[in-house]
Amino acid sequence: MNNVGVSRLSRIVLALTVLATACAAADQQPFYRRLSLLDTAAWRIGALKACSGASAFVLIAIDGVRSDEVFDGVNPAFAAAHGLRDSEMVGPDQLMPHLHRILRTNGVALGAPGHGPEIRSSGPAWCSLPGYQEIFTGHPVPDCRNNSCPAVARATLADEFAALSCSGPRGVAVISSWETIERAGAANPSAVVMSTGRNHGMTREKLMDDPALRDWLLAGERAKAFPGQDDYRPDRFTAGLGVQYLRAVRPRFLFLGLGDPDEHAHHNDYRAYLQSLRDSDQVIGQVASVLRDMERDGVSTTLVITTDHGRSRNFTGHGAGAPESGRVWLVVAGSRVLRTGRVEARRERYLADIAPTLRAMAGLAPDFTAGAGSVMDELFLAPIDLVARQ
C-alpha cells in the first residue's frame, strides 16, 4: 500500500475510532435519587426469604473484554499485528487459568464463541455506563448513550441487598477502578459501601475504620491514573481493596469492577491488554479462594464474572459505531450452580438478565416491571430448587 493509501486509511481508522469511542464524554451529573415506596415494599417482601440462610454473592465485571481471548486465548491476527512472540501465543487455559479451573469444577459459561446464541449488552450505544446500569438494574437503558447520562433512578441489586436486615451496615460494597460506576451501582449510595475510582464513592470513608482497608484506599489515592485517566484507580489497588474487603467483612454482596483491559485496548496495546487479563485472572483466583473459605464455614457463595461490553473489530474501540462491541460473556460459579463448562443459551441473552438471575438465586423479590430482564435458567439443572437451596 502506498503512503497516500496509508494516510487515507489512517484517517478512516481515526474517524471510526472517534465514533466507536464516543462514550468518553464525562461531565458529572448529580447521582443521588430517592427510591419509590413501591421499590421499598418489594424489598420487604423479598427480605424474609433472602435472609433465610447464610449466602454471599460476588460480581466481578472486567471492563471491555472480548469473549475471544477469554475462551479461545491469544488472537493470532492481533498477535501478529502487534508483534507478539511465538512464546506469547497461549490458549485460554494459560491466559486465564483460574477462570477455566472454575469452569471445569463448579462454573458455567454463557456466550463463549461457538456455543449458542450470544449474550449482549442491549445498547444501542455499547458504552460502559449503560452497560453497568443494565447489569445493576436488570433493565436495558436505551436512553443512556454515553458515559455522561444521569445516575440510576431505579433500585439496583446493591440497593436490594442493602435493604435486607441480615446484610448489616457493611454487607454490601461497590468497589471499582472507574469512578463513574458510582452512577450505576446504587440509587441510594448512602446505604452501601462505595469506593469508585481513587476518590469517588460517597461512602468510601467507611473503609477507613479497618487498617488494611485504609492502607489500600490511601495507596489507591496516591497512585497515578494510568492506564486510565481522570479519577481512575488502577486495578491493582481496586483489587487489593476488594479482595481484602471480601476477606475481612464477608459481605452479602460485593461488586468488584476492574478496568485496566479496556484502558489498554483504547491505547491499542494488545500485549498490555493480555497482561491485564492475566492480572484480572489472578484476582478471580484470590476471590475464589476466599469464597471457598466461606463455603467451608457454611456460607453458600456465588461468583459471577462478566464484562460491560466487548470490543470493535479494530480492537481499540467500542460504542454506537461498532455493534459487534455489544457482544459480552458471562461465567457463574458456586454451590448453587449445578452444571459445569460452556453451555448454550436458549436464546440471545442480555446483561439485563444477570440481575433477575441473581435475584432468583438470592431469594430476592422478582422484578415484574416492564422491560425487566429474565432469569437465565439454562445455567442450572434444577432452577425450581434455587430458592429452596438457600
Binding residues for Zn ion, rule: CB under 5 A, are 64, 262
Cβ 70 to Zn ion, closest distance in Å? 17
Cβ 263 to Zn ion, closest distance in Å? 7
CB within 8 Å of 6: residues ≥ 6 apart: none
Cβ 243 to Zn ion, closest distance in Å? 24
When the beta carbons of 262 and 353 are compared against Zn ion, the nearer one is 262
When the beta carbons of 20 and 360 are compared against Zn ion, the nearer one is 20
Cβ 227 to Zn ion, closest distance in Å? 11
CB within 8 Å of 35: residues ≥ 6 apart: 154, 155, 159, 187, 188
Cβ 345 to Zn ion, closest distance in Å? 25
Cβ 266 to Zn ion, closest distance in Å? 6
When the beta carbons of 28 and 105 are compared against Zn ion, the nearer one is 28
One-letter identity of residue 204: R
Closest CA to 30 of 137, 151, 200, 141: 151
When the beta carbons of 50 and 144 are compared against Zn ion, the nearer one is 144
When the beta carbons of 50 and 65 are compared against Zn ion, the nearer one is 65
SS3 331: strand
3-state helix, strand, coil in the chain (%, to 5): 45, 15, 40
Cβ 83 to Zn ion, closest distance in Å? 23
When the beta carbons of 64 and 234 are compared against Zn ion, the nearer one is 64
SS3 256: strand
Output the residue with the shortest Cβ distance to Zn ion.
262
Cβ 361 to Zn ion, closest distance in Å? 29
Contact 141, 130 (CB under 8 A): yes
CA distances from 43 to 125, 156, 258, 383 (A): 31, 11, 29, 22
Rounded CA gap, 99 and 304, in Å? 11
Residue identified by cell 430476592 is: 364
When the beta carbons of 106 and 146 are compared against Zn ion, the nearer one is 146
List alpha helices for the chain, DSSP H.
Answer: 3-20, 37-50, 67-72, 76-81, 92-95, 97-105, 128-137, 157-162, 211-222, 235-249, 260-266, 270-296, 354-362
When the beta carbons of 50 and 320 are compared against Zn ion, the nearer one is 320
Distance of CA 157 to the CA centre of its chain: 13
